[in-house]
Amino acid sequence: MNLSMSRSALVSFEPTSQQNPTSDRLVQAPIIRLSEIMSAFSVALDVTQGHPQGHCMRSCLIGMRIAEVLKMSTADRSALFYALLLKDLGCSSNAAKIAHLFGGDDHQIKHSTRLIDWTDPRQCLGHCWTNCAPGGSTIEKLLKMAAIVRSGAEAGRKIAEIRCERGAEIARMLQLSEPTAQAILDLDEHWNGGGNPCKQKGEEISLLGRICGLAQCVEVYFTAFGLSSACEMATKRRGKWFDPALVDALLSFKNEAPFWAQLDSSQLMSEISRWEPEDVTLLADDTRLDRVSEAFARVVDAKSPWTYLHSTRVAEIAVGIANQFGCSSGFEQDIRRAGLLHDIGKLGVSNAILDKAGKPTDEEFAQIRRHAEYSYQILKQVPAFGELAEVAGGHHERLDGKGYHRGLAGAEISFATRILTVADVCEAMTAKRPYREALEWEQVQKILAKDAGKGVDPDCVAALQTWYEKHEHASRVDSQLEAVERLVAEL
């Protein structure tokens, strides 16, 4: 294959799929209900926290029912609705730190933390023993525990601060209301002042934040142990963790069986849509959809210092390739969104694997490979994202059928997916990994040329080179190393 193919040759390229690369769109609706997108994306936040899928949506149902009992205003209920759905927006930002501190699976550690009273030293000690260096020797466990004890309460406060501040920042990026951002910031504060990160007390904590804090804990206990245990936990922590009036509001509908049955519904997204105040329903037009894609790319790329800026760079490269084909601005906009969201499923992969110093084992690689399927499953929940989900979930497919997650081959792989695949491969090779150095552009070209026609599309590779050589490209390695340095400094 001639990597110096001219632009005129590229423009005349006809994709093997039935798509028209100059006009086809990957998003099939100009305006989408924002709650529809956020409900689907909240599942990605669930898996980042180690919760069963639907945690945020179930928390939303509980919190909105409490708001109904309190007869809150429409504006407050709208702000609360999005705070509940997106309360975990900052959860990926402390994943690497938790995995390093405990030497274990951040998903398991985060989830199990919600099932204990971490203000009780005895429960904390048991939790540490269970989760520090799992599978390790007694000495390894004790060393990890000693490091956590040395870091003291300040380490826990800092972890909560990173998560809450980052979540509020992204909520503002989404241009959600300030009460929504404030609720996310206040998520882990306690009524008695013993929470984090600011040790606020009583009504110093925003009402929406107090509701979110109660709702998320009730959901965790409800899903793990049942309604009676959830209500018992709330009663025990009444006046300590939780606002007494909110616990009373919760208990007022304890016996409403139809309501609690909703939490077990297989159609949670439909249930959720009925709780958004109709007269202030938020919609996502093109501008907001771009903002949502950018925001969740930040959530994904914050998961590990090694993935820092990856999604943003993939999106940039994908648009560059599409531009060489003379694609429409609408197609370029959608392929950019696919690039920003293609790794949303990677939130479901433990940092114990993503940040591992050595090369992943076969079993660990198998877990990493599942992220493409996770991305597809999350995105397809939004009906208008059907084609976008196919493209984003297919970014590891190969022309020879040896890719994943479906093992598609040849003409089964769409034009847009071929673009995204080449963009992802290029970006990944030019970045550093814990087990290898970044490759120089010349090395990347050789590898892509060798794989062209077998794994990756040769015309897309040619388009990549044409675009790449017209633009300056700062290495992402420096940004990665800076992210690693920040993590080490926080530890």
Catalytic residues, by residue number, are 346
Helix axes 207-225, 244-251, angle to 10 degrees: 50
CB proximity list for 490: less than 8 A, separation 6 or greater: 97, 158, 162
Query: Among residues 350, 347, 429, 341, which one has the least CA distance to residue 393?
Result: 341
Beta carbons of 339 and 314 less than 8 angstroms apart? yes
CB proximity list for 53: less than 8 A, separation 6 or greater: 43, 46, 47
* Interatomic CA distance for residues 366 and 394, integer angstroms: 16
Helix (H) or strand (E) holding 284: strand 283-284
**Residue linked to tokens 């992402």:** 476
Helix (H) or strand (E) holding 283: strand 283-284
**Residue linked to tokens 């994904």:** 300
Count CB-CB contacts under 10 A for residue 471. Answer: 9
CB proximity list for 19: less than 8 A, separation 6 or greater: 414, 415, 416
**Residue linked to tokens 């945690």:** 55
Beta carbons of 266 and 28 less than 8 angstroms apart? no
Beta carbons of 437 and 34 less than 8 angstroms apart? no
Amino acid in the structure at residue 111:
H
The β-bridge partners of 283 are 33
Instruction: Kindly list the distances between the CA atom of residue 237 and the CA atoms of 28, 51, 104, 194, in Å, as whole numbers in the listed order.
Output: 47, 21, 29, 12
DSSP-based three-state secondary structure for 299? helix
Alpha-carbon torsion 268, 273, 274, 277, what sign?
A: positive
Beta carbons of 190 and 153 less than 8 angstroms apart? no
> Would you state the structure tokens that stand for residue 230, as one six-digit string?
């959830």
* Interatomic CA distance for residues 85 and 372, integer angstroms: 23
Helix axes 286-301, 310-324, angle to 10 degrees: 130
Q: Could you give the residue ranges of the DSSP H alpha helices within 345-414?
A: 351-354, 362-369, 371-379, 386-393
Count CB-CB contacts under 10 A for residue 137. Answer: 9
**Preceding peptide of 342 cis, ω within 30°:** no
